[in-house]
Amino acid sequence: MISSVPARLLFAASLFVAGFSSVDAQAQTAAPVRVAIVGLVHGHVQGFLHNLAAHPEIALVGISDPDAALRQKYIAKTHLSGDLFFATEAEMLKKTQPQAILVYTSIAGHRAAIEEAAPLHIAAMVEKPLATTVEDALAIQALSERYNVPVLTNYETTWYNSNTAAVKMLEEGKIGDLRKLVVHDGHEGPKEIHVDPEFFDWLTDPKLNGAGAMFDFGCYGADLATWIMHGELPTTVTAVALQLKPQIYPNVDDDSTIVLTYPHAQAILQGSWNWPFARKDMEVYGATGYVDTLYEDAGPGVKLRMRLTGEKAEHVETAPALTAPQNDSLNYLAAVLGGSLKPQHDLTSLDTNIVVVRILDAARRSAQTGKTIYLAREVAAAK
């Protein structure tokens, strides 16, 4: 059950949450889900704060980050009360008692954040990917199981109407059996799009991020492929990583291609910091037709391009809108914590994202050694 909280607003009005007080009285009568932010170094935290005004069912009760200057930056930027900010996660959890933490540390920091929260039976939603190593992923899984708390992984593309519509067409047999999946993700590069310095620092650190573009954007395709393949491990993983801009990214790859093979299909995942424009789109090829998701700045994840059996030309359609709680991360989180949704075998669930980390780890090893990794066989042998 969702615990009760004071009826008054739990944080000050800010540039990001202007208009929060205008939600109707009925929405305010329900006890909101108490969430806390762990870490401020991930740029996606700004998107959460921006979207919070549209979610009266979510109450922000605390924010922790060890960097005093960064905390002050966000106090000044958002006009949130300084009382919301803490130097340590432990102190914040003790004083605010959230139901879930939203983790905006480096990817390598996810495990430590969950190690603090899980024993207190506090759920976690982390930004993609789940972890930088299989060891950390399995440790997180063990914590989730031991303390019976959800651990979720948030990807922007999970909430794209087009991805759900394309996979529904595949499942309904409209393009025949899956043969090939091609996923493109990325942008011009972190420096080129002017990410904040605290974000850039860990994105370009191979320990804190796991790799460069391969982990930052290859994870989207690994997540989609695992979902479409119903959690099946790929037979093989073969990857190539490039440094096309070593003067900017000397320590990590900035371009990657991961090829996954399955008994009857192939997936090609292209994560890059070298696209001329930002993109998050995929091509799904069946035995009798194809459907592509289109990425447009004005409305990413909305349109589909397809050609089906018997058609002489491709055409573009608008994907149906997703409905709550499957339409954004905060609706999803609230449904999970409220007990109306069980995360399993979907894009956000822990089981899917353990497989994602296994794929990314195998891809990193393949790129480093120039060898194909026989992942399904490797995992079976380790059991």
Question: Each residue's pLDDT tens digit in the chain (383 positions)?
Answer: 333 333 333 333 333 333 333 333 334 456 899 999 999 999 999 999 988 889 999 999 999 999 999 999 999 999 999 999 999 999 999 999 999 999 999 999 999 999 999 999 999 999 999 999 999 999 999 999 999 999 999 999 999 999 999 999 999 999 999 999 999 999 999 999 999 999 999 999 999 999 999 999 999 999 999 999 999 999 999 999 999 999 999 999 999 999 999 999 999 999 999 999 999 999 999 999 999 999 998 889 999 999 998 899 999 999 999 999 999 999 999 999 999 999 999 999 999 999 999 999 999 999 999 999 999 999 999 98
Arch. (CATH architecture) of 157-327+355-382? 2-Layer Sandwich (3.30)
pLDDT at 28: 43
Phi, psi values for residue 137, rounded to 5°: -60, -45
> Is residue 269 classed as helix, strand or coil in its secondary structure?
strand
Contacts of 1 (CB under 8 A, 6+ apart): 339
Residue 18 CA to residue 136 CA, distance in Å, equals: 38
pLDDT at 30: 62
pLDDT at 82: 96
pLDDT at 309: 87
Residue 81 CA to residue 44 CA, distance in Å, equals: 20
Domain limits of the chain?
A: 20-155, 157-327+355-382
Q: Which amino acid is at 20?
A: F
Residue 267 CA to residue 234 CA, distance in Å, equals: 9
For the chain, how many helices (H) and strands (E)? 14, 14
Are the beta carbons of 202 and 209 closer than 8 angstroms? yes
Residue 184 CA to residue 96 CA, distance in Å, equals: 40
Strands 85-86 and 33-38: unpaired
CATH code, 20-155: 3.40.50.720
Are the beta carbons of 97 and 30 closer than 8 angstroms? no
Residue 147 tokens, joined: 């303390």
